[in-house]
Structure 1
Amino acid sequence: MGRSVNLILVVAIFCMGSMGAQEEEVLTKEEAIALALERNYGIEMANNDVEIAENNQGILNSGYLPSLTGRAGAGYDLNDRLTEPEEGEPLEQEGIESNSYNASINIDYTLFDGLGRFYNYKSLKEQYDLSKLQARETIENTMLQLLTVYYEIARLTENVEVLKDVLGTSKDRVTRAQYQFDYGQSNNLAVLNARVDVNNDSVNLLQTRQQLDNTKRDLNVLVDRQITNKDFEVDTTVSFIPKLQLEAYIDEAEANNVSLLQLDKNLAITDYDIKISKSGYLPTIDLNGSYGWNFNRSAATAFFPGSRQTTDGISGGVSLTWDLFDGGTTSVQIQNAKITHENQELQKKQVALGIRRDIANALGNYENRLYILRVQEENVATNQDNFERSQEQFNLGRITSIEFRQAQVNLLDARTSLNLAKYDAKIAELELLQLTGQLLNVEL
C-alpha cells in the first residue's frame, strides 16, 4: 500500500513537472501593472468618474453662456355668428374661419448674479482635480493589491523550487537506502523512513503548487485575464530603494500623500461654498431679447370686412432682481458653509496626525523586516553548510537518517523563511511608498 501511494505521488509530481517544463509566458511587474490600468474594473469606474467631473467643469456647465429658445404656434377658429342690430334685419353667419400664426426666437443671459456663477465655476474646477486624486487613490490601492498578489506568486514559485530540491534529495535517499537494504547493509526500517519522507515532501509540493495556481487565478481576476489552463511565470527579482531616497520621500510625505491632497481640495471647495452663499446678498441682473413674427387672419363681420395682419420685430430688456430680505436663508447658508469649512480643517489635522503615525509604523515595520531578511540570509548560509556536511556524514554512514532528515528540514525551513522575509520586506516598502505618495512614481 505504501509503495502504491508513493508511486502515485511521484507520478503526479513528474506530470506536473513535465507541464512546467514547457515554455511558459513570463508576466513582468510592468506588464501586470499595465494590464491592471487598462482592464481593472475599479480603475475603469474611477476613470469614468473623472470624465464626469471633466464634463461638469467645462464651459457648457458654467452658466456663462446664454440660453436661446425658439417658439412657434398656430391657431384656428371656426364659429357661427348671429348679429342683431338695434334696427334692421339680423345677420346670421355660419362657418366663420380665422387663423393665427406666430414664431419667435428668444435669448436670455444673466449679466451678473452676485459672483455666484464665478465661484461655482472655480469650485467645479477643484472638484475635477479632486476626482483625479480619487482616481489616483484607487489606482494606488489596486497596484498595492496587485503587487501583493504578484509577490505572493513569486514567493510560492521559489518555494516550489525549494520543495523540488528537497523531494529530489529524499528520492536519492530512498534509492541509497534500498541499495543498502538489498546488500544487507541496513534493515528495511531505513527504506520505510525514506519513503515516508518522500511522501511527505510530495504532499508539501503538491499543496504548494495548488496554492500557487490559486494565487495566479487571483492575479488574473485583478487584471481581467481569462482564467484558463494556460500557465505563466512571474519575475522573482526583488530590489529595494536606497535608504537616502526613501528618507527624502518621507520628508515630503505630507505634500504628496493622496489623502491629504484630497483634503486640500475639499478645503478649497468649501471655501468657494462660503463665497457662493455670500453671493445671495447681491442683486441679479438679467438681459433678454427676442425677435418675433405674427400673422392673423380674421373673417368679415356685419360691420367690418375681413382682414389679414402681419407683424414682426425685435424687443429687448434688462431686469434687476434683489432679495432685500429672504427670511434669513442666505445667512444660515453662510454660517453652515463656514462650519463645514472648519470641519474640513479639523479633519485635515486629524488625518495628517494619523498619517505621520502610519508612516512611522510603516518605516519601523520595513526596517524590522529588512533586518529579519539579513538574519534569514545568514541562517540559510549556516543551514546550507550544515546540510552539506550532514550529507557527507550520512553518505559515509556516520550519522543516522533521522539526523540527516533534521538537517534537511532545517534547510527547508530556512530557505522558505528567507523567501517569506524577502517578499514581506518588499511589501512593507510598497506600503511605505503609498503613504509617502510615491507608489506611482518609482520603478518597482
Structure 2
Amino acid sequence: MNALLVVTALLAATPITLEETRALGRKNTQALQAQLDVAVAQQDERVARSSLLPQVQFNVGPSLNYLGRRRQVVTIPISDTEVLTREVESSSNTADSYFASLGLSQVIFNRGLWKQLEQAGVNVDAVQNQSIEEADTSELEAIRRFFSLYLSQANLEVLKATATRSEEQLERARALFLAGRVGKTEEIAAEVNLGNDRINVVQRQNQLVADQVQLAVWLARPGTELLQAVDPGVFQTEPAPAPPLEDSLKQAREHRALLRALVQRVRVAELQRAIVQGDYIPRVGLSAQYAHTSQDLGPFFSEARLGNTFNGGITLTWDLFNGFVTDAQSARAQANIRKAELTFAQTARELEAEVRRAHQVLDGQIASSKLATTNRAAAAQGLLLAEERFRAGAGSTLEVRDAQLKLTQSELVLLQSRIDVEIARYALIRATGTLNPGDSQ
C-alpha cells in the first residue's frame, strides 16, 4: 500500500531537469534582489549625471504685502531755502502683485561633479559583477538541491529493490520450510527482514518530501508543489577527471566576477578621493534669470513691455580655506582606498584557496566513486553466492540478509559518491567563475 502511494505521488509530480533548475536558480529571490541593486545603482548614475546638465526653474504666483500703521517723518519743501518737517501717522495698507520668472543655471567646470559621475558608472559595474556572484551562488545551491532530490529518488528505488529481494527471500524460506529443508526460524527471520525493509522505504519517502520542498522553495515555486528530478544521466558515463589545478586557478583569476567587483570597489574609493580633492580647484558656473512682475493681472498680460528684469553672469567659486575639512576628507578617502586594496588582496588569496579545495574535493570524490563501483560489483556477487547456498540448503537467512545489506549499502554509497562527484564538479566550476561563461567579461 505504501509503495503504491509512493508511485502515485511520483506520477503526480512535476518533472524538472537540471538545466531548468539552473535557469530558475539564477532567478530566485536572492538573485532578483541583487538585480534590483543594479537598477538602483543605474538610477544613482542618472542622478549624478543630472548635476552636470542644465537646471531650469520656472516660478509663477501672486504675492501680498501688508503694511501696518506706522509713524514716519515727512519733509515738505516750503521754499528754495526752507523745509517743513512733520511727524505723521500713516494708516495700514495692502499691496498685491503677480510675478513669473524663468531661471537657467549650467555648470561650466566642476571637477568634483565629473568625478561623481565617473564613480557612479564604476559603481554600476561593481554592483553588476556582485549580482553575477549572487546569481552563481543561487544557481550552485539550486544544483545541489536538485541532486539531493535526485539522490533521494534513487535511494528510494534501491530500498524498494531491497524490499523486493526480501519478499523473494521470504517466499524461498517459506517454500523450503514447507519442504522440510529449513526450520520455521528461517521463515520468521525473512519476514522480519521484509518488514524492516518496508519501514526503510517509508522513512526514505519522508526525506524525499523534504528535498522536494527545499528545491521548490529555492526556485521560488510553491512549497506544496511536488517536483521530480529528471535523470541527469550521470550514471550512464564514467566521471571525467578533474582539470589541471593551474588551469582552474587561471580561469578563476580571469573570470571570477567577485574579483572584478573588488577591483572596481578600489576604483570607487580612488574616485571618492578625487571628488573630495576637487574642492581644491575653482568651480565655474553660469546662471541667467528673467522675471516679469505686475501689480494687477490685467497689465500682467497686456503690458508685457513693463515690469521685466533680466540678470545673468558667470560665477567662479574657490574655497580658499574651509577649516581643513578637505584635508581630513582626503585622508579618510585614502584610508578607504587602502581598506579596499587589502580586501581585494585577501579575497584573491581566499579565492585561490577555494579553488584548490574544490579541486581536491573533486579528485577525492572521483576516486571514491571508482572504489564504490568496485564494491558494488563485489557485493552483488556475494549476494548471488549466498542465495545459491541457501537454495542448496547449505546457507541461512542470516547469511542472505547480510549479503543483501552489503549490496544495499554499497548501492547507496555508490549513488551518494556519484552525486557528490557532480556537486563537487559544479562547485569547482563556480569557484572558477565559469558557471555561466556568458557573464564573464
- Same fold by TM-score, threshold 0.5 exceeded? yes
Counterpart of 2:174, as a letter, is Q
Code of the aligned partner of 2:24: L
1:287-326 alignment, distance < 5 Å: 287-296=286-295, 310-326=306-322
**Counterpart residue number, 2:152:** 156
Match of 2:85 in 1: none
Alpha-carbon distance, 1:85 to partner: 9.7
The within-5 A match list for 1:177-216 is: 177-216=173-212
Contact 1:62–1:117 under 8 Å retained in 2: no
User: Paired residue for 2:99?
Assistant: 102
User: Are positions 1:329 and 2:325 aligned together?
Assistant: yes
Tell me the residue number matched to 1:232: 228
Could you say which residue in structure 2 is the equivalent of 1:41?
A: 29
- The yes-or-no answer on 1:385 pairing with 2:378 is no
Matches within 5 A, 1:400-415: 400-415=396-411
**C-alpha separation in 2, matches of 1:66 and 1:47:** 31
8 Å CA contact retained: 2:186, 2:396: no
Q: CA RMSD in A?
A: 2.9
Match of 1:66 in 2: 54
State the match for 2:131 in structure 1.
135
Give 3-state SS (helix, strand or coil) of 2:224's partner: coil
The reply on whether 1:13 has 2:9 as its aligned counterpart is: no
Confirm or deny that 1:250 pairs with 2:214.
Answer: no
Q: CA deviation at 1:215?
A: 0.6
Alpha-carbon distance in structure 2 between the residues aligned to 1:136 and 1:148? 18
Does the CA-based 8 Å contact 1:24-1:233 persist in structure 2? no
Q: Which amino acid aligns with 2:26?
A: L
Q: Is the Cα–Cα contact under 8 Å of residues 53 and 128 in structure 1 kept in the other structure?
A: yes
Alignment partner, residue 26 of structure 1: 15
Say if 1:164 and 1:205, in contact at 8 Å, map to a contact too.
yes
Deviations 1:159-199 (A, max 9, x none): 11111111001001111222222333322111110011001
- Percent identity over the alignment is 23
- Give 3-state SS (helix, strand or coil) of 2:307's partner: strand
Structure 2's unaligned 5+ residue stretches are 79-87, 297-303
1:419 deviates by 0.8
- The change in CA–CA distance for 1:406 and 1:41 in structure 2 (over 3 A counts) is same
**1:110-158: per-residue Cα shift (whole Å, max 9, x none)?**
2112x11111111101110111111111111111111111111111111
Shift of 1:346: 2.0
* Structure 1 length-normalised TM: 0.86
SS of 2:374's equivalent in the other structure is helix
CA distance in 1 between partners of 2:364 and 2:68 (Å): 102
Give, as a single letter, the amino acid of the residue that structure 1 aligns with 2:38: V
- Of residues 170, 182, 185, the one that matches 2:166 is 170
What's the counterpart of residue 279 of structure 1?
A: 278
**Alignment CA distance shift 1:291-1:165 (3 Å):** same
Indicate the SS of the match to 1:252: helix
Is 1:296–1:310's contact at 8 Å kept on the other side of the alignment?
no
My pick for the range that moved more, 245-254 or 169-178, is: 245-254
- Partners of 1:401 and 1:75 lie apart in 2 by 106
Tell me what 1:118 maps to. Answer: 114
Query: What corresponds to 1:368 in structure 2?
Result: 364
Shift of 1:229: 6.0
Distance 2:326 2:261 in 1: 28
- Whether contact under 8 Å (1:287, 1:318) holds in the other structure is yes
The answer (yes or no) to whether the contact 1:270–1:341 under 8 Å persists in 2 is yes
Equivalence for 1:304: none
Contact 2:245 2:356 in 1 (8 A): no
Q: Are 2:109 and 2:284, in contact at CA under 8 Å, matched by a contact in 1?
A: yes
Distance in 2 between residues matched to 1:85 and 1:434, nearest whole Å: 92
Distance change >3 Å, CA 184–CA 59, structure 1 → 2: same
Mark the runs of 5 or more structure 1 residues left unpaired by the alignment: 1-10, 298-307
Aligned residues of 1:166 and 1:201 also touching (Cα < 8 A): yes
1:359 to 342, 355, 360: 355
Q: Supply the distance in 1 between the matched residues of 2:193 and 2:120 (Cα, whole angstroms).
A: 68
Q: Which amino acid aligns with 1:415?
A: E
